[in-house]
Amino acid sequence: MASNDEKPVDISASLFLDDSQEDYDADTEKIKISKTHDVLAEMEAALDEIADDNPRIGAANETGTGSNDDLKAVLQVSLAINSSLVLEDILQIVMKKAIELLSAERGFIMLLDDNGKLQFKTAHNLRKEEMTDNDFKISNSIANEVAQTGKSIYTSDALSDERYANQQSIVELHLRSIMCVPLKIKNKVIGIIYLDNSSQAKLFLKSDLYLFELLAQQASHAIHNATLYCQLLDLKKFNEKVVNNSPVGVIVINSKYELVTINDAALAVLDKNKEGIKLFNAGKQPTIIFELIPKQELAKLNKMIDTALETRQPIEEGRYFHNTGYTEKVLSIKISPISKIPNGGDGLILVLEDITEKIIMEKYVILSEKLVARGEMAASIGHELNNYLAIIANNAELLSYNLEKGREEKADENSKQIVENISKMKRFTDGLMDFSKMETEIIKYEVRRLIEELLFSLKAQARFKNIAIDIQFDGEIPEVEMDVGQLQQVLMNLLNNAADALEQKYKKEKAAGNKEYKRKIEIKVTHDPQASNVKISISDNGCGISQQYMSKIFMLHFTTKKSGHGLGLANCKKIINNHHGEITLTSEEGVGTIFNITLPERQLQTVK
C-alpha cells in the first residue's frame, strides 16, 4: 500500500473577490494552472514509488500508456476539485469524479465535526443521481475504523472477506468490492471517502486503491482550503459587522491616502453619502480621504496623517473643529498605524467620534457654575453695598432731624458719616473694576484651538447666524503662552463689537435698498519667527469708526454705543498689555474696522 505522506500536487490558484459581495460567487473565480508537465511528473513520481505493489500501473509502465492515462485523469479531477472554494461544491465534485474515475456504483463522503464525530456530507451512485437517506445503508465500522486509524481499507470480495462477511449491511447490499480512504491534512484525519460495487464484473483492483488515495490527497487539500476560506469569509463578515455597527467612525487608508474601509458612522460624522465612495480593491479608482474633508481643514489633517505615516506613531486630537458647510462639529480624532493592509501595504486607521453634544454639555455645566458663582458674588456685592447704604440712609435721616433741632455738631457728624461711607463705596466699586488684580493662569496653548473653541460657542448665537466668518492660518502657528480665559474674553469682545457694527450697517444698507450687502468677519493668524510673536487680525465690513473717536477708543468708560458702558475695549487693552503684547486698530467709517493683536510666543515676564 502506498504511503499516506506522499508529496501533494502543487496547484496554484488566483482568486479575485469583490469586497462588495457578501457571498462567494464561484462563477467569477479564475483558476491558473502553471507548469502542467511538472505536475504530471510529480504525480508520476508518486505512483512510481508504489508501482512494485501495483500490478496494473506496473504493467502500464511497460507500455508507457496506462500510467499517463491515470495521471491525466487524476489531474483532471484535481483541476475540477480546485475550480471552487465553496465546500458543498467541492464535496459534490469529489464524489462524482471519484465514482467516474474508479467506476464505482456507490459512494459517500463523511467529515469529522468539532467533536470528532463523522458526519455524512454527500453520496452518489453510478447514474450520478444523488442518493437519499432512505436509500443509504452503510457499514459504520469501516468508516469509523478508517477515521480512527488513518489507514485505508480495501477488499475485492467483501462477502468472502472474514472481516466483513457477517456484517448486516454487507449482506443486504450484496457488496463485493469496497474501498475507504482517509482524508488527511498533515497526517491529521479530517474525514473519509467510501466507494463500493455489488457487481462481480466491476471489482476494484489493488491498483485502484492507490489511485483512490492519490485522489483523496488532492481532495483533502481542496476541502481544507475551502474550510479555511469559509472561516476567513465568516471572519471577514463578522469584522465588517463590528466595524459597520460601531458607534464611532472608522476609516482605514493606505499609504497613498486611498480609502480601504469606511463605516456608516464615519460617513455620518463627515456628512457624506455612500454614493460616489469607491474603496481600494473595488475595481475602480479609489476615493482619496482628502476628498471628504473641507478645503479649510486640509492642511491640518494632511499634516496629522503624514506625521503618523512617517513616524508610525499614533496621533490624537482631542478637539478637532470640523465645519461641514452645513454645521460645525467638534470631533475627537485618533490616528494609528496599521500594517499589512490586504494588497495595500501599510496604512492608517482613523477613529472619529462626534463629541459636539459632550462639549455643549460641558459648556452648559461651566456656564451654570459661573452663573452660580456670579450669583454668589452679586449677593456678596449687594450685601456690602447695602451695609454702606444703610449707614448713609440712617445718617441722612439723623442729619435732617438734627438740623431741625439745631444740633449742628451732631449734624456735622452725620454729614461726615455720609461722605465717608460714600467714599468707602467708591473704593469698593473701584476694586471691582481694577483690571490689574485679575487672576491669571499662564499655559502653552494653540491659537487655532483658542479661536475655534470660541467660534464654536459664538456661532450658535442668533446674532452670528447671518455672518460669514472666514478663518485663515498662515502656515504653521506655534503654541503661545497665555491665559486662555482672558484672551478668549478679548476675542469675544472684539467679535461682539464686530457683530454690532455689522448689524448697524446692515440696517442702513437695507433702508437704502441695497440687497447685495453681506456681513463678513475675517480672522487671520500669522507667525513671525524672527520676532517670535503671533499676530491675530479681526476685520469686519461694518460701519467703521469715525476718526474723531480713534484716539479715545481704548479709554475707560468711553463708548460710541447708546447702551454701552465703555469697559470692553479698555479691558481688552489691559489684558493684552498684561501679556506684554499690543493691540491696535485701523478703521474707515462706512468701510469697516481691523483690530490687530500681537502676542509674544513666550512670557519672559510675569503676567499681572
- Is 427 in the same domain as 512? no
Contacts for 387-392 with beta carbons within 8 Å, 24 or more apart? 388/421, 388/422, 388/424, 388/425, 388/428, 389/425, 391/417, 391/421, 392/417, 392/418, 392/421, 392/422
β-bridge pairing 259-262 and 533-540:
unpaired
SS (H, E, C) 147-212: HHHCCCEEECCCCCCCCCCCCHHHHHHCCCEEEEEEEEECCEEEEEEEEEECCHHHCCCHHHHHHH
Q: Which three cell numbers stand for residue 249?
A: 467612525
pLDDT, position 11: 28
Q: Which three cell numbers stand for residue 158?
A: 467483501
pLDDT, position 139: 63
Cα atoms found within 13 Å of the Cα of residue 29, Cβ hemisphere only: 19
3-state helix, strand, coil in the chain (%, to 5): 45, 20, 30
pLDDT, position 502: 93
- Is 320 in the same domain as 367? no
Cα gap 534→529, rounded to integer Å: 8
- Domain stop point among 196, 218, 236: 236
Q: Is residue 109, in this structure, part of any structural domain at all?
A: yes
pLDDT, position 182: 95
- Is 33 in the same domain as 81? yes
Q: Which three cell numbers stand for residue 537?
A: 487680525
Angle between helices 66-81 and 87-102 (to 10 degrees): 160
Q: Is residue 480, in this structure, part of any structural domain at all?
A: yes
**CATH code for the domain of 557:** 3.30.565.10
Question: Which residue ranges of the chain lie beneath pLDDT 50?
Answer: 1-44, 46-47, 49-65, 126-135, 435-436
Q: Using DSSP, how many helices (H) and how many strands (E) does the chain show?
A: 14, 17
Count the neighbouring beta carbons within 10 Å of the beta carbon of residue 90. 24
pLDDT, position 194: 92
Number of domain units in the chain? 4
- Domain stop point among 218, 236, 254: 236
Q: Is residue 262, in this structure, part of any structural domain at all?
A: yes
Cα gap 579→106, rounded to integer Å: 95
- Is 47 in the same domain as 170? yes
- Is 32 in the same domain as 172? yes
- Is 154 in the same domain as 257? no
- Is 229 in the same domain as 258? no
- Is 338 in the same domain as 364? no
- Is 90 in the same domain as 226? yes
pLDDT, position 187: 87
Contact 165, 141 (CB under 8 A): no
Give me the residue label for grid cell 481532495. 219
pLDDT, position 135: 43
Q: Is residue 437, in this structure, part of any structural domain at all?
A: no
Q: Which of 503, 499, 488 is nearest to 571 (CA)?
A: 488
**CATH code for the domain of 107:** 3.30.450.40
Torsion of CA 562, 564, 566, 572, to 10 degrees: -130
Contact 258, 274 (CB under 8 A): no
Give me Rg for the CA atoms of the chain.
Answer: 44
- Is 257 in the same domain as 230? no
Q: Which of 551, 553, 584 is nearest to 566 (CA)?
A: 553
- Is 343 in the same domain as 261? yes
pLDDT, position 433: 60
Q: Is residue 475, in this structure, part of any structural domain at all?
A: yes
Q: Is residue 548, in this structure, part of any structural domain at all?
A: yes
- Domain stop point among 177, 202, 236: 236
- Is 229 in the same domain as 189? yes
Ramachandran region, residue 4 (left: φ > 0; alpha: ψ -120 to 50; beta: rest): alpha
Q: Is residue 9, in this structure, part of any structural domain at all?
A: no
β-bridge pairing 533-540 and 592-600:
antiparallel
**CATH code for the domain of 258:** 3.30.450.20
Phi and psi dihedrals of 559, rounded to 5? -150, 150
Ramachandran region, residue 532 (left: φ > 0; alpha: ψ -120 to 50; beta: rest): left
Query: Is the CA virtual torsion 110, 21, 343, 309 positive or negative?
Result: negative
Q: Is residue 607, in this structure, part of any structural domain at all?
A: no
Provide the residue range defining the domain that includes 556.
442-600
Q: Which of 179, 205, 213 is nearest to 5 (CA)?
A: 213
